[in-house]
A and B are shown apart, each in its own frame.
Chain A
Amino acid sequence: MGKRKISAAQFFISMFVARVVVTIALNAQYTGGENMLDNIVSYVLAMGLGFLIALPVWGLHRRRPELTIGRAAVEDMGILGRLLPIVYFLYFVLINGTSLALFQLFLMDTVNPAFSAGFVAAALVAAALYGALRGIETVARCATCVLVALLLGCGLVFGIVAGRFSIENLEPLFYNGFSQTIKGTVLFIARTSIFADMAVLLPMVKGRKGLGFACWAGGTAAFVGLLLLLVVGCLGRYAYTQNFPVHALASITQVRSMQRLDAVFTGVWMMGLVVKLAVDIYGCRVCVSSLRKKPGEEKAGAWWAAALMLALALCTAGVPLVQHFLLDTWFLFFCTVATGFALPLLVLAADLLRGRRDLQKAKGEGA
């Protein structure tokens, strides 16, 4: 583990797919207002802030390109550093458990299938676990294929619903003030696991990572912008009443013989979700391998991560109190900023200190 590397393009494609999956679950309740157009600005702001949040991760990666944040923490911070991989492990479980829970809620609220939504969630986790156990290369290659399916699926839906776009449905930007924009920015950052993913997985990535990150930010901004524009332009005020407006957008599509494409759209969402889960279960594997004593333990870590994600998702979807707490935007924002910014900054500081200490020691020995 760790010897095989994926290209920057593959890594950021996986991240793009993960981002799209999260965006599909957006609604007016989470974005904090009725004018979803403001959230296009929110996303651009979130991406701008994202560059700042990612700075410690980049700094650490530049200093220790071959080490994951967990390994660097163990080396630089001793026993205290051993807590870090555990924190990242739990963060991945949390962020994916909540994503899976949102999907389950969608199934239960909107689709109401004849079979258990938990069964679907279990199938998704099983598929993701299989991918994570096969390795990051497998997941990254699969993400490329899923991206094609996703772009084709979204392209089809967007292309068809574009005919229903009405400029009259659009409201002026910041019509209700800036609060929705700020809330949206917080939401977009809160639900982005890319910073933690980069902290853990960047050592397994080769190629032009900076360019990849910039393309990811630009690409997701374009996708989210187009999606929100279509949701508002095609659905109008109807979008604000929907728990899953993007699905509502898909369900009004009609291609002559095929009457509704929402099942296909949901399928594409599921495929993306598998990629997101698989990347982060692999991240959990890496976290466990930073602590491992015996080879093979990291595979057990993947199994544990998958089981915990599923349990958390089932719990979140089934218990309103847990749902209220775990899906709270500020709680997720805190977790994301802590793992994406604060902890990498801490490890970077520890690494700089250690480097200075080593240098002084070397000078002392030389004298």
Chain B
Amino acid sequence: MEKVSEKLEENKAYLQGQFAKAMDFMMREMELSGTGAALFALDGLVSKQTITLSILNPLMQAPVMPGDGPMKLKFIEENVLGSMEQKREAQMDQVLLLLMSGFAVLCIDGCKEALVFGVQGFDSRGPEEPQNEVMQRGAKDGFTESYQSNMAMIRRRMKTTALKFEKAEAGSQSHTPLAICYLEGVASEEIVQKVKSRLEACGLPTALGAGYLAGFLERGGVFSGVGMSERPDVVCGKIEEGRVAVLVEGTPSVLLAPFLFVENFQTLDDYLTRPFYGTFIRWLKYLAFFLSAFLPGLYVAITTHHPEMLPESLLLKIAEAEAQTPFPVMAETLLLYFLYEVLREAGLRAPRSLSATVSIVGGLVVGDTAVSAGLVSAPSLLVVALTAIAGYAVPRLYEPLSLLRLAFLLAGNFMGVWGVMVGLVLLLLNLCGASSFGVPLLSPVAPFSGRLAFRDVFARAGWQRLGRWDAKVQDMPGSRELGQ
């Protein structure tokens, strides 16, 4: 059935057939001045109170309606109901989609169109501080699962008509609503179009989260060219620099594109503190990144292949510790690393009441016992622990880092420091060759722009300088027309 039928019975039969064995399907039949009518909705998606007070009561209490079905529909539309979100719909697939989006549908006998009302009333979580992007001085509200609330949160912070929210959809089955958000005149028109076309080309049947769509906006690589944030203030800052945000219904994470490598090190707190401190924190994060990626590899490489690089006292201490353990340094470090990843995963997935126990048993009992039993050496444990802690200083890079440090560990074991160097060059080549919507991922470092690099990469400039809109993402050095 493509179109809404003139006969109410046919519409009823069709909808009941479609929602057979669906106990949330609701139908309320009524008679409007001698003409049969029915109101359809899905339980849980609509507010029954709103339906009763704003639709059923006015319909029942309405005066005698004139004429046949279409005239009655017109009368109701113009004189009886005053819903803000109200429209006629003739296509049955649209009626079904709207029903499943929390609309109520009124069909009147003799009418080729149905009247639909926005009466959504599903429960949603209120804004809370995001657990994955904790800030010291930033706002304490985060995005929720409702993309409409998320739009409001952005709009509240950017009261400009240049702020646009374009509607889109993803998932041939889920029909997940999306909002493509950008600042007109600031964001590159080409990037906006590219985001739209890539989302349109997404052939997923269901899109249950922002992560589902991120893969369609970028093209592989070690580091992502699409960012995610749960904070409205962060998203507003990114939009202001010409980025495009994609708000996905049902997920508190907002996608951001283009997303450069240096952004992984930038947090809102950097901008809320004094510039010199922001710069200091930024460098700490760079150092943490290098420690996290290279420390296990370098430790294994130096202790196995280049002990001459270590001072004698340190070398003797490590040798003494290693002499008491049955495994080579590589096996030991690898074992500890996997153990740490297992503990992390267990701590993350275990019920909250148990996660503290997992941490204590894993971190203290297992670690301490393993060293005292002579299974692993204390230096190896220290290296893995330092690596793990350093990784959390740049949480956005946790995923690539966890694999990179494994790769460097293997390279360091087989080829010493030189293996790590070859790995570093490969990583550099990968980074230098990657781009996000035509903007080089490593920009403004490579290609280098001193003005931009010393504005917000190697140093965090003061707000007098940052306040100028001279750092749009599409103007980064090396950016070109969107070939990739």
Residue ranges of A at the interface with B (Cβ–Cβ < 8 Å): 4, 7, 10, 113-115, 119-120, 123-124, 127, 130-131, 134-135, 137-139, 141-142, 144-146, 256-261, 263-264, 266-268, 270-271, 274, 278
**Total number of residue pairs linking A and B with CB closer than 8 Å:** 104
Establish whether residues B308 and A146, one from each chain, have CB atoms under 8 Å apart when the complex forms.
Answer: no
Closest 3 CB pairs of A and B: A138-B433, A267-B421, A141-B432
Further pairs besides A131-B433, A138-B433, A141-B440: 5, Cβ < 8 Å: A123-B415, A258-B309, A259-B308, A267-B418, A268-B421
Shortest C-beta distance, A20 to chain B (Å), equals 15
Q: Flag if A145 contacts B311 (CB, 8 Å).
A: no
Among B427-443, those with CB < 8 Å from A are 428-430, 432-433, 440, 442
Cβ-defined contact, A127 with B425, below 8 A: yes
Which A residues are CB-close (under 8 A) to B447? 7, 10, 141, 144
Q: Which residues of A contact B425 (CB under 8 A)?
A: 127, 131, 142, 146, 270-271, 274
List CB contacts (< 8 Å) of B64-80 with chain A: none
26 sampled A-B residue pairs with Cβ under 8 A:
A113-B305, A114-B416, A115-B415, A120-B418, A120-B422, A124-B422, A130-B426, A134-B429, A134-B430, A139-B429, A141-B447, A141-B478, A142-B446, A144-B447, A257-B311, A258-B310, A259-B308, A259-B310, A259-B311, A260-B308, A263-B306, A263-B418, A267-B417, A270-B421, A274-B422, A274-B425
Count B interface residues, CB 8 Å.
34
Q: Is B252 an interface residue (CB 8 A)?
A: no
- Closest Cβ neighbor of A4 among chain B residues: B480
Given known A258-B311, A259-B311, contact A131–B448 (CB-CB < 8 A) = no
Whether B308 and A120, one on each chain, are in contact in the complex, defined by CB atoms closer than 8 angstroms, is no
A137 to B425 Cα, complex, angstroms: 15
How far is it, in angstroms, between the C-alpha of A130 and the C-alpha of B448 when the chains are bound?
A: 22
Is B418 a contact of A270 with CB atoms below 8 Å?
yes
Q: How far is the CA of A172 from the CA of B421 in the complex (A)?
A: 39
The interface residues of chain B lying within 8 Å CB-to-CB of A258 are 309-311
Residue of B414, B420, B429, B448 touching A138 (CB-CB under 8 A): B429
| B residues 372-396 in Cβ contact with A at 8 Å | none
The distance in angstroms between the C-alpha atoms of A82 and B207, with both chains bound, is 54
- The answer to whether residues A146 and B310 also contact, given A7-B447, A115-B415 and a CB cut-off of 8 A, is no
Q: Is B314 positioned at the interface, with any CB of A under 8 Å from its CB?
A: yes
Contact assessment for A137 and B478 in the assembled complex, using a CB-CB cutoff below 8 Å: yes
CB neighbours (8 Å) of B426 from chain A are: 127, 130
Q: Are B433 and A257 in contact (CB under 8 A)?
A: no
**Knowing A259-B311, A263-B309 touch, does A145 contact B432 (C-beta < 8 A)?**
yes
- Residue B232 lies at the interface, judged by CB distance under 8 Å to chain A: no
B191 to chain A, nearest CB (A): 19
Q: Does B168 contact A (CB under 8 A)?
A: no
In the bound assembly, the distance between CA atoms of A131 and B432 in angstroms comes to 9
Give the one of A119, A130, A138, A256 with max B CB within 10 A: A138
Expressed in whole angstroms, the Cα–Cα distance for A3 and B421 within the complex equals 31
Q: Which of B287-333 contact A (CB under 8 A)?
A: 302, 305-306, 308-312, 314
Instruction: Check B428 against A145 for contact (C-beta < 8 Å).
Output: yes
List B contacts of A278 (CB < 8 A). Answer: 429
CA–CA, A163 to B448, complex, Å?
A: 34
Chain A residues, Cβ within 8 Å of B309: 258-261, 263-264
